Amino acid sequence: MQKIDELLKISENDLSIELSTGNLKLSESQVNLDNDLAAIAVNNISEERENDLEVLRTSVASKGAEAKAIFTQNQATFASMMAYCKGNSGRSIPGL
The tens place of each residue's pLDDT in the chain, 96 residues long, gives 777 777 677 777 777 778 788 888 888 888 889 888 888 888 888 888 888 888 999 999 999 999 999 999 999 999 888 888 877 765 665 555
Number of Cα atoms under 13 Å in the Cβ half of residue 4: 1
| Total-model pTM | 0.43
User: Cα–Cα distance between 78 and 19 in angstroms, integer?
Assistant: 87
Specify the 3-state DSSP secondary structure of 89: coil
